[in-house]
Amino acid sequence: MFKKIRRRLGSVLKTKCWSNKAGAHQESVHDQMPGTSEARRESEDRPEQVNTQGHVNKKEHKESPLFPMKPRDVVRHFGHKLSDFELKEFSEYSELWYLGKAESNGNNIQVSPDHIAYRYEVLEKLGKGSFGQVFKCLDHKTNEMVAVKIIQDMRTYRKEVEILKYLRKKDRNDSYNIVFMKTHFYFRGCLCIVFELLGPTLRELKRSLRFSKADVRHIAKDVVKCLTLLEKEKIIHGDLKPRNIMQREKGQGIKLIDFGGSSFEQMNQFLGAYTPFYCPPEVIMNHQSTTAIDMWSLGCILAELHTGQYLFHGVDGYDQIALIMEVLGMPPIEFVQKESTWDFFYDHKGRYRTVIDSKGRKINPGSKDLQGILHTNDLQFLDFIQRCLTWNPEQRLTPTEAMKHPWLQNID
């Protein structure tokens, strides 16, 4: 399926690669992933830059040492070209694979061009957000391209490492469409997470093409497969959206990324980050959260891929609830038992409160038809979306049930 997408995009796909969360609406399009020869750039004020097979810059004399090198050997050969900071930092490493131009400025990593941990050559910035930055890098030890996420605020992202390590143990065969975390470490006061390098996000693909019905079904099945593992392990992704679903290399399916806001269900209340357009009502209303959060998000995503438009495009939580009411009607009584939730929908006499959306429109609950919004006559697809989008998370379609749904059967 994704091979067809790649052919339809033509040269467009060749300009895209890894992009991570970079704020609510920030995205970037990147250059084609360079080959190994392109990645190794020469530097006038640095020692020769070498590859993992030990081929040195031909401009240097034949007796130049080969990498990897022990710190003492680097100091002996290049000590006169290195800063005092670097000379001191070398002692933390048993071997060095690459020397760049990085200088420390407080706890920030300055890049232009640069290295990370004397092993990863930074090729380009792929994304930037409040959490930090993501770079495309050449790993000089393994001679492969990777994505390195550099996180300065580590309070929440330590959990991402914990959850990805946990999931890797449960998915040793890489069959559940979860981004592969290769390793993680600390460098100059920052947490660095090294991932496999993937293709464009669904958000980027949506800009360039219209997904076919078959495309949407394939994407749905790949995402649901991932969610079945998260459901089994009681893990909430919490920020499922097109930007966090990426195409595999060579277009062979998709993978879920960015578990920075993920949590175990046993925490009872979801405290991670979320994007309002894909956020279920129980999160907006601060109810107890479960893995059903992600199935609501999936329903919104599939509707968006099918129509090319957001299903619920609210400007804030209040507006989002108003738009949901317009399609799903009033919430069931069990959803409004919490006092704060009751007060949102009803006054002290139990009368329904008038809800006005951000455009000043009075909301008439249930006045919009989901089938009309989706412009579809595919009743199986409609049923799948409807069962993802229920007020009560306990009545929502589960990933296990979704895998057995007629709409996801008999996919080529």
DSSP for 46-110? S-----TT-PPPTTS-TTPPPSSB-HHHHHHHHGGGS-HHHHHHGGG-S-B-------EETTEEP
Rounded (5°) CA angle 165-298-218: 90
Q: How far apart are CA 303 and CA 381, in angstroms?
A: 10
* 303-333 CB burial, b ≥16 within 10 A, e <16: bbbbeeeebbebeeeebbbbbbbbbbeebee
Q: How far apart are CA 287 and CA 405, in angstroms?
A: 28
Catalytic residues: 239
Q: What are phi and psi of 40, to 5 degrees?
A: -95, 100
Q: How far apart are CA 338 and CA 319, in angstroms?
A: 20
Q: How far apart are CA 411 and CA 214, in angstroms?
A: 8
Tell me: is residue 149 an annotated ligand-binding position: yes
Q: Token pair of 337, please?
A: 């038992």
- Dmax over Cα atoms in the chain, in whole Å? 89
Binding-site residue ranges for ATP: 149
Binding-site residue ranges: 149
